[in-house]
């Protein structure tokens, strides 16, 4: 597959007289080579929608903190499992609920950088029976319990057709210095699809269902701050009372979930502005329909923002009319809002997402990627092939985002994430 480096940007925000800051930002673009594999644009285009639901026991409130870092188009969190502990990393995914890691004995496992977890070597591991509340909380179509089996088994598939199957159990998980016992998780020994060593050892579901980590810890409140791709830096994931923002943060309410998708974090997106032009998008474009389709979700496990038509078509039309560059073919990298770029300073139109009660004004590095070798500049937004739109993690870089399930709001503010 053709590969395009995601470049870092050196920005000069001193506005020239010919570049009004209300419509755009004049930037100097510089190529900074990265040694990390996740900076390839073909990883960014793998917007893997994690469409699942689930449930579990809720513990008394536990406050924990751990670290996040970018890898393979996702953001991975650091944690440890078992007694004695085995440290590993896993994708933090607000679009699903199941916590799982690869386990011994493994029938089909992807390469990972840490040893495989072996439940037989942990004194705190236990399987869950098919009639356990945690097992019954799995979506019925994922449970594969059948006589004479007594352990809760599952076959869990994501929206990009990646899948994992194994046995549901409980184990002690450690986050920094805090150990949490009897966390329900999947011990997976058969994994298939878009997983590799940049995926860590599995996924930590952070969705709204009861099997997610945030639900099992009991507080229903967490925040994350995602560093820039290519920075090779870490930033915090905070769960519980430690998750706070400043008084300057903006907030937007969650939209009630349809019964068919109870795990997603739906938001009300009222419009999009490119430059100084609010796009002529019909009011119903980002609304949910009576049958539960449509809407927009925010998802840390999807790399690139995906917009349904006509919103995407209007976004493309606006950038093509406002960029002082010739349109170019970026289809080899999965993008079609691309321009011929020769390394010169360019004026990039502002991109603002107007959520209910809050405007997210993105910096250019959160929606523009450049490759001087291929002479391309591309807008990192794609057309959704689903019935809904997704606000991905690339657009959330250096944004401190707080999920308050009890309060029913998502709050955010710009931040230098590696300095929190």
Q: Which residues are catalytic?
A: 93, 299
For residues 292 and 397, give the distance between their C-alpha atoms in angstroms, rounded to a whole number.
29
> How far, in whole angstroms, is CA 322 from its chain's centroid?
29
The H or E element spanning position 93 is: strand 86-93
Q: For residue 109, is it left (φ>0), alpha (ψ between -120 and 50) or beta?
A: beta
DSSP letters along 363-378, please?
Answer: -GGGTEEEETTTTEEE
Output phi, psi for 39, to 5 deg: -85, 10
Spatial contact of 2 and 373, defined as CB atoms under 8 Å apart: no
| SS3 label, residue 103 | strand
Query: Exposed, middle or buried: residue 49 (CB in 10 Å: 0-12, 13-18, 19+)?
Result: buried
C-alpha separations of 228 from 6, 141, 186, 396 in Å: 11, 37, 30, 9
User: Of 52, 38, 85, 277, which is closest to residue 180 (Cα–Cα)?
Assistant: 85
Cβ atoms within 10 Å of 77's Cβ, excluding its own: 24
């Amino acid at each position: 597959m053709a590969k395009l480096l995601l470049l870092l940007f050196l920005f000069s925000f001193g506005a020239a007289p010919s570049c009004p800051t209300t419509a755009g930002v004049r930037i100097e673009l510089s190529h900074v080579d990265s040694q990390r594999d996740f900076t390839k644009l073909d990883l960014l285009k793998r917007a893997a929608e994690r469409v699942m639901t689930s449930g579990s026991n809720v513990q008394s409130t536990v406050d924990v903190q751990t670290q996040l870092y970018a890898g393979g188009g996702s953001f991975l969190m650091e944690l440890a499992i078992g007694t004695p502990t085995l440290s590993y990393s896993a994708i933090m995914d607000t679009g699903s609920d199941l916590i799982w890691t690869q386990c011994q004995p493994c029938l089909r496992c992807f390469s990972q950088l840490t040893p495989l977890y072996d439940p037989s070597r942990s004194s705190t591991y236990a399987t869950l029976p098919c009639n356990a509340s945690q097992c019954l909380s799995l979506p019925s179509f994922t449970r594969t319990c059948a006589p004479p089996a007594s352990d809760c088994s599952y076959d869990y598939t994501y929206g990009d057709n990646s899948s994992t199957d194994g046995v549901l159990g409980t184990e002690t998980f450690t986050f920094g210095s805090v150990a949490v016992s009897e966390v329900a998780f999947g011990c997976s020994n058969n994994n298939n699809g878009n997983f590799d060593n940049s995926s860590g050892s599995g996924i930590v579901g952070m969705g709204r269902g009861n099997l997610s980590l945030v639900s099992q810890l009991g507080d229903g409140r967490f925040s994350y701050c995602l560093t820039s791709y290519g920075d090779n830096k870490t930033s915090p994931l905070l769960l519980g009372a430690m998750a706070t923002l400043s008084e300057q943060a903006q907030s937007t309410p969650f939209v009630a979930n349809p019964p068919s998708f109870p795990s997603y974090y739906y938001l009300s997106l009222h419009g999009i502005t490119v430059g100084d032009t609010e796009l002529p998008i019909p009011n119903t474009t980002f609304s949910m329909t009576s049958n539960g389709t449509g809407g927009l979700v925010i998802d840390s496990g999807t790399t690139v923002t995906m917009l349904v038509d006509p919103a995407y078509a209007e976004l493309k039309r606006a950038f093509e009319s406002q960029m002082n560059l010739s349109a170019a073919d970026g289809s080899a990298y999965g993008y079609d809002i691309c321009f011929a770029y020769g390394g010169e300073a360019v004026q990039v139109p502002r991109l603002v997402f107007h959520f209910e009660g809050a405007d997210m004004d993105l910096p250019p590095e959160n929606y523009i990627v450049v490759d001087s070798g291929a002479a391309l500049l591309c807008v990192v937004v794609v057309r959704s092939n689903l019935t809904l739109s997704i606000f991905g993690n690339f657009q959330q870089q250096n944004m401190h985002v707080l999920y308050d399930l009890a309060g029913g709001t998502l709050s955010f503010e710009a931040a230098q994430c590696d300095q929190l």
